[in-house]
Chain A
Amino acid sequence: MTSENQMYQLNVNGNNRQVKDAWIGESLLYVLRERLDLPGSKGACEQGECGSCTVLLDGDAVCSCLVLAAAAIDSTITTVEGLMSDTVMGDTARAVSDVQAAFVTEGAVQCGFCTPGLIVAVHHLLDQNPSPTEIQVKEAISGNICRCTGYGRIFAAVNAVIELREKSK
């Protein structure tokens, strides 16, 4: 049992991180952003409707705003920061993942607020299903809302990754 203000440990992006001086009722989203210095996951609706805060929890894409951080102990958490393929410590030009690169080259980013959540959702989809149909792609990102409504470019980015991964097999 973890009590008020008691420290607990989360496994985030392969590292064990201590959560200190935090209110025990904080969402995983809040803890990631405000306690663990991982601001990639975005907070918008805080009720699981927008998907901006999507992370991988034990391999499932979930809304981190709906996860009680203190209940996510003994779990594996991957945020958008953890998807980068080759993170070199101290190197500012860190390598991005193929999905991130495709979002850039296909112009799938407008205001960018929904992008981290979409990136995580697309990674999750393509890791589970390398050649999804159009409807499967739409379904997989149906929990991620882009209010710039740039969905066409997002689908183009997903298709670019599918092709790229297909070729590099």
Chain B
Amino acid sequence: MSVSVPTSLNDALVALRQMPNARLLQGGTDTMVEINFNHFKPEHIVALRKVEELRQYSLGADSKSVHIGSGVPYKVLEAEPFLSIVPALAQASRTVGSPQIRAAGSLGGNLGTCSPAGDGLPVLSALDAVIHLRSIDEQRDILIHDFMVGVKRNARKDDEIITGVTMPILRGFQGYSKVGVRNAMVISVASACLAVDEVGSTVRIALGAVGPTIIRCRETEQWLSTEVDIASSKFSNSIAVEFGRRAALEARPIDDHRSTAEYRRHAISVLAQRLLLKANS
């Protein structure tokens, strides 16, 4: 086994090309658990914590989008300017693990692991984020919906590094809610991200931990747009209840050690309903 600690993106890409079976290590909060418990014995590790390029973020032209490097830790994402420009991301970031985990964890790690319970992922889905991938000789952008292909499976190729994500800065309410057994240090039992796009007149809702990967509730979104004038952002109680019911139907939860499918579906109906009512204020 070997460990590389490159200090530039280019050095990291070269190391990865030389050892295509290497595990990329971002904050370590997933991989180190696997190693500590002997579930995984890597041949090579390319650790990205010293790659400064991955730890930058920047606003796009006209401040209509934000680019976030894959290594920006959640402790940064939970604060300004993200609280103002992508509040759902800040809220989701704040629910990740503990201060210790948020100092280490990042969207790059969330995307690399691609667990359906990854807290950043419903936000990326609701915001139609674009994932940026780089190899030595290619750079490609891929929509989050095409990136997540299954339980802990994604579209990254062996010689690619997730360099960052770009997401739009929308006008309208955003919220992220999650159910877990306590407030800190929990992996989601069910989660939901709702984002209103006042300009595009859409309400987007994405669900976490209730399917093989994040679920965008396209049918529920479509239904809502025919029922109400999104631009007015006035959602009645009965609309919210029906919205929750429909979102829950789009969930595909399973029973596992964290919860039951039945409870998860119920939780989604409540989370979706509450998020839509919050969008009123």
List chain A positions with a Cβ less than 8 A from chain B.
Answer: 1-4, 23-25, 27, 46-49, 51, 54, 60-63, 65-68, 70-71, 73-74, 121, 139-140, 142-145
Bound form: Cα–Cα A49–B184 in Å: 10
Cβ of A24 and Cβ of B1 under 8 Å apart?
yes
- Do A74 and B5 have beta carbons less than 8 Å apart? yes
**Taking the nearest CB of chain A, how far is it from the CB of B47, in angstroms?**
4
**Given A68-B47, A71-B49, A143 contacting B184 (CB threshold 8 A):** yes
CA distance A139 to B79 in the complex (A): 14
Q: Closest residue of chain B to A73, judged by CB?
A: B5
| Contact present for B3 and A68 (CB under 8 Å) | yes
Q: Is B185 in contact with A27, judged by CB distance below 8 angstroms? A: no
User: Distance in Å from the Cβ of B58 to the closest Cβ of chain A?
Assistant: 22
Stretch from B97-105, B141-149, B210-218 that touches the partner? B97-105
- The residue among A54, A62, A65 with the most chain B CB atoms within 10 A of its own CB is A62
Shortest CB–CB separation between residue A31 and chain B, in angstroms? 12
Q: How distant is A62 from chain B, measured CB to nearest CB, in Å?
A: 5
Min CB–CB distance A20 → chain B (angstroms): 15
CA distance A63 to B100 in the complex (A): 6
Q: What's the least CB distance linking B60 to chain A, in Å? A: 28
Which residues 75-100 of B sit at the A interface, judged by CB distance below 8 A? 75, 97-100
Contact across chains for B97 and A68 when beta carbons are under 8 A apart? no
Please give the residue numbers on chain B whose beta carbons come within 8 Å of chain A beta carbons, in ascending order: 1-5, 15, 25, 27-29, 31-33, 35-37, 41-42, 45, 47, 49-50, 73, 75, 97-101, 103-104, 183-185
- Sorted nearest first, the 9 A-B pairs with minimum C-beta distance are A143-B98, A142-B184, A71-B47, A60-B103, A70-B3, A46-B36, A66-B32, A47-B33, A143-B100
Q: Which residue of B lies closest to A47 (CB)?
A: B33
- Give chain B residues whose Cβ lies under 8 Å from the Cβ of A63: 29, 100-101, 104
If A65-B36, A66-B32 touch, does A143 touch B2 (CB 8 Å cutoff)?
no
Which one of A25, A27, A49, A139 lies within 8 Å of B42 (CB-CB)?
Answer: A25
Q: What's the nearest-Cβ distance from chain A to residue B159, in Å?
A: 17
Are A68 and B45 neighbours in the complex by a CB distance under 8 Å? yes
CB-CB < 8 A to B3: which residues of A?
A: 1-2, 24-25, 68, 70-71
Distance to closest chain A CB from B98 (angstroms): 2
**A63 CA / B35 CA spacing, docked (Å):** 15
A66 to chain B, nearest CB (A): 4
A33–chain B nearest beta-carbon distance, Å: 13
- Nearest-Cβ distance from residue A26 to partner chain B, whole angstroms: 9
B residues in contact with A49, CB < 8 Å: 185
Do A1 and B25 touch across chains, with their CB atoms under 8 A apart?
no
Chain A residues, Cβ within 8 Å of B45: 25, 68, 70-71
The distance in angstroms between the C-alpha atoms of A143 and B99, with both chains bound, is: 6
